[in-house]
Amino acid sequence: MDAVAAPARPLATALIAAMALTAAVAAAVLLSGPPAPAPASAPEEAFSAERAAVHLEAVAAEPRPPGSDGHAAARDLIAGELEKAGLETEVQSAVGTTSSPGSVNAAATENVIGVLPGTDPTGRVVVAAHYDTVPGSPGAGDDGAGVAAMLEAARAMAAGEAPRNDVVFLFTDAEEPGLLGAEAFTSQHPLGRDGGVVLNWEGRGSSGPSSVFRTAPLNDSGVIGVLAEEAPHPRGDSASAASFADQPYDTDMTVFTDAGFAGLDSAFGGDAAHYHSAQDTVENLSRATLQHHGDNMLGMARALGGRDLGSLESGEPATFFNAAGRMAAYPSSLDLPIGAAALALSLVAAVVARMRRAATVPRMLGGLVAAAAAAALAYGAALALWQGVLLLRPDLAPLAVVGDLYRPAWLRAASVAVTVGVLAGWYLAARRLLGPTATAVGGTVAVALLGALSAFEPGVSHTYTIPALLTGAGLTAALVLPERMWIARTAAVALGSLGAVLLLVAPAVSALTETGIPGAPVLALLWAPGAVLLAPVLEIVLPRARRNPDTGDGTPEEAPVPRPLRRPVWIAVALVSAGAVVAAGTVLRPGYTDAEHPLPVDLAYVLDADTGEAVWAARGSHEHPWAAPYVEGDVPFDASELLVSVPPRFPVAQGPATGADLAAPTAEARPAPPDDVAGREAVLRVGSARGATDLRVDLNRVPEELEIAYPGVDGRTPGVEERKAEIQRSDEEDAAFRIGLSAVPEDGVELRMRFASEEEVEVRVTDRTRGLEGLPDYTEPPGDVGPWVMPDSHSTLVTRTVRI
Question: How sure is the predictor about 315, in pLDDT bands with cuts at 50, 70 and 90?
Answer: confident
What is the arithmetic mean of pLDDT over 111-139? 97
As to burial, measured by CB atoms within 10 angstroms (0-12 exposed, 13-18 middle, 19+ buried), residue 469 is buried
The 10s digit of each residue's pLDDT in 564-611 is: 445 678 889 999 999 999 999 999 999 999 999 999 999 999 999 999
> Residue 423 belongs to what domain range?
11-32+338-588
Handedness of CA 647, 648, 654, 659 (dihedral sign): positive
Residues 404 and 313 both lie in one domain: no
Domain count, the chain: 3
Q: Verify that 530 and 613 share a domain, yes or no.
A: no
- Residue 142: its pLDDT value, please? 96
Q: What is the DSSP letter of 32?
A: T
Residue 754 is inside which H or E element, if any? strand 749-755
**632 domain-assigned:** yes
In a domain, 2, yes or no: no
Per-residue confidence at 712, pLDDT binned at 50, 70, 90? low
The verdict on pTM exceeding 0.85 is yes
Look at residue 39 and tell me if it is in a domain.
no
395 and 372 co-located in one domain:
yes
Q: Do both 148 and 119 map to the same domain?
A: yes
- Domain-terminating residue out of 280, 299, 323: 323
213 closest CA partner among 256, 255, 186, 245 = 245
Rounded Cα distance between 698 and 37, Å, is 48
Distance separating alpha carbons of residues 536 and 440, to the nearest angstrom: 6
- The amino acid that residue 630 corresponds to is Y
**Average of per-residue pLDDT across 422-436:** 93
What is the per-residue pLDDT for 559?
40
Residue 544 shares a structural domain with residue 643 = no
> 484 and 365 share a domain?
yes
Q: Tell whether 606 and 583 lie within a shared domain.
A: no
Per-residue pLDDT tens for 622-665?
899 999 999 999 999 999 999 999 988 999 999 999 999 999 99
Query: Which residues sit opposite 755 in a β-bridge?
Result: 680
Same domain, 418 and 313: no
- From the number of C-beta atoms within 10 Å of its C-beta (0-12, 13-18, 19+), residue 57 rates as middle
With respect to residue 189, please indicate whether it lies within any of the assigned structural domains: yes
Domain boundary among 529, 556, 588: 588
CATH number at 54 reads 3.40.630.10
* pLDDT 10s digits, 358-379: 999 999 999 999 999 999 999 9
Instruction: Verify that 553 and 624 share a domain, yes or no.
Output: no
What three-state secondary structure class fits 358?
coil
Distance of CA 246 to CAs 240, 308, 342, Å? 10, 31, 28
Q: What confidence score (pLDDT) does residue 13 get?
A: 60
Same domain, 351 and 486: yes
Task: Check: CB of residue 182 under 8 Å from CB of residue 128.
Answer: yes
